[in-house]
Chains A and B, each alone.
Chain A
Amino acid sequence: ASLRTGWDGGGGWCRAAANPRGVGYSTDFEVHRNWLAITHNLPLSQWYYEATSEWTLDYPPFFAWFEYALSHIAKYFDPQMLVVENLNYASHATILFQRLSVIFADTLFIYAVHECCRCVNGKRAAKDILEKPTFILAVLLLWNFGLLIVDHIHFQYNGFLFGLMLLSVARLCQKRYLEGALLFAVLLHFKHIYIYVAPAYGIYLLRSYCFTANNADGSLKWRSFSFLHVTLLGLIVCLVSALSLGPFLVLGQLPQVISRLFPFKRGLCHAYWAPNFWALYNALDKALTILGLKCNFLDGTKIPKASMTGGLVQEFQHTVLPSVTPLATLICTFIAILPSVFCLWFKPQGPRGFLQCLVLCALSSFVFGWHVHEKAILLAILPLSLLSIQRAKDAGIYLILATTGHFSLFPLLFTASELPIKILLMLLFTVYSFSSLKSLFRREKPLLNWLETIYLIQLVPLEIFCEIIFPLTPWKWHFPFVPLLLTSVYCALGITYAWLKLYLSVLTERISVRQKTKCPQFL
């Protein structure tokens, strides 16, 4: 255990090491600086109206309060960063403060990982510390490539938010349901993207907390319904919401807050397509358009000149396939989530089932959501790490999902000096995850089949082509979007595949579980 804490510390140090030195400041850096300034200078009533900068406050109130608290430390570093009009201000002290704030906020994440590791039972207690599941889990979470680059190089506070999420998961696993629910409610008011996984939480709490007993065959015992538990849960959720949204309700600003939080005016896809179903859909549309133009099925003059992933254009016009509306994506997401939720309800498997459902919710909404950001894939990868150390099947899915998902984050860091660091960190994490999981499940059949292996290996030539060969070719000027498009479409294949595979394994699990009955391996 002492060595593990050493590694935990190592994780923390690596965060510190790799990152305050990142040379590029992303737009998110300016976003958070702006929010610091807004919350520091303006009264509460102005927070969600202020629009000097284009990066308006679009996180829920708790996050705004978090920035408010930070701003009181920030003023000792450099008061200039707290001036709303100081757009794109990035003095040395500002950068140092912002980076340090992320690192310190990460202590919550480290604590949460520690708690999660305690939930994993040590049945496979190996002599060698490097082969202990808890150690592997700690490294997989703490050194997670995506989290490292998104938080510490690109700049966001995900580590701290995921800390809250993992902590709530850990509490649910420890059967401290109320604490778990409270943490998740708080988390939702920090960043509303976590609403994607809310169905899993809702159903799980209802199933295992509000109904206190099961029938012998595992089905629901309706009479065990506990009004007290429901009231407690409802009270927690209402209190947290009141604390967060209450002030704005009193001010009569709730519609404004909501409109800031859910900007449906943005397009189906981000400028860089997140590798999901819609990326495949867009690519198919594009391919059909080109094909149609070649064979003269389409009239070239009628096609809108949208430059796809070239950037700037938010609304992407489909030419051949029908255009997608927000409602359609919402329905798709809902339908995709539904089976996993049913699974959770009808064949409860304790925390394991909950985690599976959580990952499936996150993945389904990633695959079908409206204006999904590529960073949202972390919402699936991190909880899946918890599952990956438990069963070889999940480990295989984890390897596919983590590798493709992380690879799809590459375009976040695009300067030449960041190229080696992202490749090195990616290799570091990938080599570790493959070798450690392989050694953990060395008695079972190979984690990946040949097709999956080939698919993952192909990422290497893809990266070489996109980052090294393509910029040297003359196409660079005519089709600047090609590397992004290739990355996005190729990763979309892997992620959709991992999603299907996980879904399949969850849905077909019923029979095997019934046969083996009560053998919940884990957590």
Chain B
Amino acid sequence: MEKWSLMTITVLLALTVRWAVSLGSYSGAGKPPMYGDYEAQRHWQEITYNLPIRQWYFNTSDNNLLYWGLDYPPLTAYHSFVCAYIAKLINPDWVALHTSRGYESQPHKLFMRTTVFVADLLVYIPAVILYCFSLKETSAKKKVSSALCILLYPGLILIDHGHFQYPLSLGLALWAVLCLSHDWDLLGSMAFCLALNYKQMELYHSLPFFCYLLGKCFKKGLKGKGLVLLTKLAGTVLLSFAACWLPFGTDMEQIMQVLRRLFPIDRGLFEDKVANIWCSLSVLIKIKNVISPRTQLKLSFAVTFLSLLPACIKLTVQPSLRGFKFALVACALSFFLFSFQVHEKSILLVSVPVCLIINEIPFMATWFLLVSTFSLLPLLLKDGLLLAYTVTTPAFLAVCLASFSILEKTSAEDLQLKAFSLSLKGYVSWFKSFPKIVRNLFLLSLSLMGVLSVLSAAVPPPPGLPDFFPVAVSLVSCAHFLLFLLYFNLVILWDSKNRGQKKMS
């Protein structure tokens, strides 16, 4: 069959799964008084449509910031405004000021789901398709199967089309990576600025972008072409930011207020049960009570910075596209594990870069993507998306097994650890059975996740420990993520020099 018809089928399949998931429940469905993210998005439409732009981020009599106040950057607000305009055309009740609070109905759900569907179709999916077509040194079939796996990744589908969220910031970040891989650096940095202005969480990806482009400038020689490129890049970034913030740029107070809304440092080290290091540690020590919030902030900042350092330095010194993608993963994962105020959904910021390297390390990528979906389980259970989770996750595993036969790709070479294992050869003798060990570990972790999923769905928690299963899920996921962080850093640091140069040329 031709490449194009296969790709069409892939896209159609992805869309079908997305719509099927969207028929299910959403975050906070029928749960007054606060509802959930669905209501937050609807509320933003209401606010942006009815209030003048200067009041969007301010607490006024018409805009109670305690009820889902706008806390994303301007692009989200503009997007909400556009959606609200369409909503108004269909049914003015949906965005009526005050009276529409907690509005829920079947047609409205259909409308909201359609907005996500359209955003996905217009931004995220084309980026994935183009990215897969631009992969080098891969057969047409491999490209299609990469696209299939990326598009069927259950975590993103469940959060966007089930829980309710727009895939725009991740889509824009993908466009940025796509542009960089074609050497269109200015376009790429613009796309990334847009992503950043859609959701501040994109900061997780900012360091690799920065280091990669900086490294590129260094490489071209800071006195000649490099300087020109650097100036151009700086100009692009400044211009894109200015364009996004134009309506707010009139006075300092506006900007400061938006920034305060974006970075609420008084909200604590972590919320709910998230699979990062702080939440896991707090099972043993109640960090939140022991250390003052200021120290928490500093501590988390310091640890994050230290864990980022090796990958970033390596990338700046030896900028390569491959290194860049791995660094995206490692840095986002460091942020997720160590930084301040992490939400469980932020794991998607790691998952999307992992999707980008699924054709290079199919085994590890699949494993990671499964763990990341699993780490979202408590959230999905709360939203009533258990059915969608139980169907899409094994389906994803089946697709990965069929298209990459991942279980046969567990040797050190397939895991890109050849260089590392060579440097260890003298000391360790168990490397011969390495593939087998890895495979068994994978199966073990798979069954552990399966058992925990079944338990948390079916068994009532033990008395006195209502959060037993969510904590267990986040502990297991956190342990996995730490190992993954180690693995990704090993791959990055031992990525041999000549290989990197071969890729560059």
User: Could you tell me if A424 and B16 are in contact, using CB atoms closer than 8 angstroms?
Assistant: yes
B2 interfacial contact with A, CB 8 Å: yes
Chain A contacts for B402, CB-based, 8 A: 3, 6-7, 10
Chain B contacts for A431, CB-based, 8 A: 5, 8-9, 12
Chain A contacts for B392, CB-based, 8 A: 17
Q: List the B residue with the shortest CB-CB distance to A417.
A: B110
B490 interfacial contact with A, CB 8 Å: no
In this complex, the member of B21, B394, B402 whose beta carbon has the largest number of chain A beta carbons within 10 angstroms is B402
Q: With A16-B391, A17-B392, A439-B1 known to touch, is A421 a contact of B9 (CB < 8 Å)? A: no
A245 interfacial contact with B, CB 8 Å: no
Residue from A23, A421, A439 within 8 A of B2 (CB atoms): A439
B13 interfacial contact with A, CB 8 Å: yes
User: Could you tell me if A6 and B398 are in contact, using CB atoms closer than 8 angstroms?
Assistant: yes
The CA of A9 and the CA of B395, in the complex, are separated in Å by 9
B412 interfacial contact with A, CB 8 Å: no
Q: With A10-B399, A20-B387, A21-B20 known to touch, is A424 a contact of B8 (CB < 8 Å)? A: no
The CA of A195 and the CA of B353, in the complex, are separated in Å by 57
B contacts with A, residue count (CB < 8 A): 31
Q: List the A residue with the shortest CB-CB distance to B117.
A: A420
Q: List the B residue with the shortest CB-CB distance to A432.
A: B9
Residue from A3, A131, A424 within 8 A of B1 (CB atoms): A131
User: Could you tell me if B2 and A435 are in contact, using CB atoms closer than 8 angstroms?
Assistant: yes
Residue from A7, A21, A130 within 8 A of B24 (CB atoms): A21
User: Could you tell me if A428 and B16 are in contact, using CB atoms closer than 8 angstroms?
Assistant: yes
User: Could you tell me if B20 and A13 are in contact, using CB atoms closer than 8 angstroms?
Assistant: no
Interface string of A348-390 (1 = CB under 8 A from B): 0000000000000000000000000000000000000000000
The CA of A447 and the CA of B402, in the complex, are separated in Å by 31
In this complex, the member of A20, A130, A424, A425 whose beta carbon has the largest number of chain B beta carbons within 10 angstroms is A424
Chain B contacts for A13, CB-based, 8 A: 391, 394-395, 398
Within 8 A of B (CB), among A8-37: 9-10, 13-14, 16-23
The CA of A182 and the CA of B108, in the complex, are separated in Å by 53
Q: Return B51 CB to nearest CB of chain A, in Å.
A: 31
The CA of A22 and the CA of B399, in the complex, are separated in Å by 23
The CA of A16 and the CA of B389, in the complex, are separated in Å by 12
Within 8 A of A (CB), among B357-396: 387-388, 391-392, 394-395
A158 interfacial contact with B, CB 8 Å: no
Q: Return A439 CB to nearest CB of chain B, in Å.
A: 5
User: Could you tell me if A424 and B401 are in contact, using CB atoms closer than 8 angstroms?
Assistant: no
A73 interfacial contact with B, CB 8 Å: no
Interface string of A272-302 (1 = CB under 8 A from B): 0000000000000000000000000000000
A427 interfacial contact with B, CB 8 Å: yes
Chain A contacts for B387, CB-based, 8 A: 20-21
Within 8 A of B (CB), among A403-445: 416-417, 420-421, 424-425, 427-428, 431-432, 434-436, 439
Q: List the B residue with the shortest CB-CB distance to A21.
A: B23
Chain B contacts for A421, CB-based, 8 A: 16, 19-20, 23
The CA of A435 and the CA of B117, in the complex, are separated in Å by 26
Chain A contacts for B12, CB-based, 8 A: 424, 427-428, 431
User: Could you tell me if B19 and A424 are in contact, using CB atoms closer than 8 angstroms?
Assistant: yes
Q: With A431-B8, A435-B1 known to touch, is A18 a contact of B16 (CB < 8 Å)? A: yes
The CA of A6 and the CA of B395, in the complex, are separated in Å by 10
User: Could you tell me if B23 and A23 are in contact, using CB atoms closer than 8 angstroms?
Assistant: yes
Chain B contacts for A7, CB-based, 8 A: 402
Chain A contacts for B5, CB-based, 8 A: 431-432, 434-435
Within 8 A of A (CB), among B4-44: 5-6, 8-9, 12-13, 15-17, 19-21, 23-24
The CA of A22 and the CA of B391, in the complex, are separated in Å by 14
The CA of A436 and the CA of B113, in the complex, are separated in Å by 32
Interface string of A121-142 (1 = CB under 8 A from B): 0000000001100000000000
Q: With A17-B17, A21-B387, A431-B8 known to touch, is A416 a contact of B110 (CB < 8 Å)? A: yes
Q: List the A residue with the shortest CB-CB distance to B5.
A: A435
The CA of A421 and the CA of B24, in the complex, are separated in Å by 13
The CA of A417 and the CA of B113, in the complex, are separated in Å by 10
Chain A contacts for B19, CB-based, 8 A: 420-421, 424
Chain A contacts for B8, CB-based, 8 A: 431
User: Could you tell me if B395 and A17 are in contact, using CB atoms closer than 8 angstroms?
Assistant: yes
Residue from B1, B23, B110, B398 within 8 A of A130 (CB atoms): B1
Interface string of B347-358 (1 = CB under 8 A from A): 000000000000
Chain A contacts for B6, CB-based, 8 A: 130, 435
Q: A6-B401, A17-B392 are in contact. List 7 more A-B contacts (CB 8 A).
A: A10-B402, A13-B391, A18-B16, A131-B1, A417-B23, A435-B5, A439-B1
A-B contact pairs, 5 of them (CB 8 A): A13-B398, A14-B16, A17-B20, A420-B19, A431-B5
Residues of B bordering A, CB below 8 Å: 1-2, 5-6, 8-9, 12-13, 15-17, 19-21, 23-24, 106-107, 110, 113, 117, 387-388, 391-392, 394-395, 398-399, 401-402
Residues of A bordering B, CB below 8 Å: 3, 6-7, 9-10, 13-14, 16-23, 130-131, 416-417, 420-421, 424-425, 427-428, 431-432, 434-436, 439
Closest 4 pairs between A and B when the two form their complex, measured CB to CB: A435-B5, A6-B402, A428-B12, A17-B391
